[in-house]
Amino acid sequence: MLSLYQFPISHYCEKIRWALDYKKLDYRVVNLLPGFHAPTAKKLAQRTTLPILTHDDTAIRNSSAIISYLDNTFPEHLLTPVDGGNKRDALDWERFADKEIGPCVRRVCYHTLLEHPALVIPFFTVNGPWYGSWVLRPLFPFMSRKMRKLMDINAATAQQAQQHLTQAIDKVHEHLQGKTYFVGNQFSRADLAVAALLAPLCRPAGYGLDWPPAYPEPLAQIVEELSEKLAWVNRLYEKHR
């Protein structure tokens, strides 16, 4: 039995939702509430970070490690290229996405979204415990301050993240010129990782959230400025998600 313990809004968790669906695996989703998730996560994997995938008596954390486990355990619909060179390149692009894109997207998005509890609380509580919204509403100011501290989110770091993210997207855009996929001629974990971690900026339907028609400012302007170079994300979602 495969179980995914996750936050619905998390783009790292989206990596695993996408991988499981792409591989056509049956699994159950356990949506946890931010902050309240810690005891469950520690019991499963001795850490508080999500996603965590459990398979019978095995618990795997870290999105990249989970994808490797899925490919090794369920080899149909491989996401890791078999060819040595392509495999290395795919893993390199995934590491790039995990380190250079994911944290910046999180910081840029949350800097705005945490100012709008009516918008972001449903992202935290969708399909979770029935009491989720009742609990998070009064606690949201405290939770917002805690998240900002833990993830080092403020005006200065959000600006730095935006600049770093722009450079990373430029690198991706340049690499994809004349290409359909990041590595070789097939969809791989490289495409999945980069697209999933950029997805909150594109609001694709396949992500599983009811996105707002537009984000509040200043996030809306950031998304607009990046939209042309991120059009491929929505195309990839339409084709492979």
Q: Which of 42, 39, 32 is nearest to 5 (CA)?
A: 32
* pLDDT averaged over every residue in the chain: 97
The CA radius of gyration of the chain, in Å to the nearest whole number, is: 17
Q: Give yes or no for a contact between 176 and 232, defined as CB atoms under 8 angstroms apart.
A: yes
161-186 per-position pLDDT tens digit = 999 999 999 999 999 999 999 999 99
Report CA-CA distances (Å) from 84 to 53, 87, 98, 194: 27, 5, 21, 20
Identify the pLDDT of residue 84.
Answer: 93
Q: What percent of the chain has pLDDT over 90?
A: 100
Residue 236: the pLDDT is 97
How does strand 58-61 pair with strand 52-55?
Answer: antiparallel
Residue 82 has a pLDDT of 95
* Residues 6 or more apart in contact with residue 216 via CB below 8 angstroms: 112, 113, 115, 116, 119
In the prediction, which pLDDT does 200 show?
98
Give the mean pLDDT of 194-204. Answer: 98
- The helix (run of H) or strand (run of E) holding residue 54 is strand 52-55
Say which residues have a Cβ less than 8 Å from residue 46's Cβ, sequence separation at least 6.
none
Tens of pLDDT, residue by residue over 6-58, are 999 999 999 999 999 999 999 999 999 999 999 999 999 999 999 999 999 99
For residue 147, the model assigns a pLDDT of 96
The DSSP bridge pattern shows strands 28-31 and 2-6 to be: parallel
Quick one: which H or E segment has residue 59? strand 58-61
Nearest-CA neighbor of 68 among 119, 15, 24? 15
The DSSP line for 113-167 is: HTT-HHHHHHHHHTTS-TTHHHHHHHHHHHHHHHHHHHTT-SHHHHHHHHHHHHH
Residues ≥6 apart with Cβ < 8 Å to 127: 8, 29, 31
Decide: 124 and 34 in contact? Cβ < 8 Å: yes
Categorize the per-residue pLDDT at 189 as very low, low, confident or very high, splitting at 50, 70 and 90: very high
- What pLDDT shows up at residue 126? 95
Architecture of domain 84-240 in CATH?
Answer: Up-down Bundle (1.20)
pLDDT in tens, 92-128: 999 999 999 999 999 999 999 999 999 999 999 999 9
Query: What ranges do the domains of the chain cover?
Result: 2-73, 84-240
pTM value is: 0.96
Q: Identify the pLDDT of residue 17.
A: 98
Residue 75, pLDDT score: 96
Q: What is the pLDDT of residue 58?
A: 96
Say what the pLDDT of residue 206 is: 94
* 1 token code pair: 């039995």
Does domain 2-73 fall under CATH 3.40.30.10? My reply is yes
Residue 214 confidence (pLDDT): 94
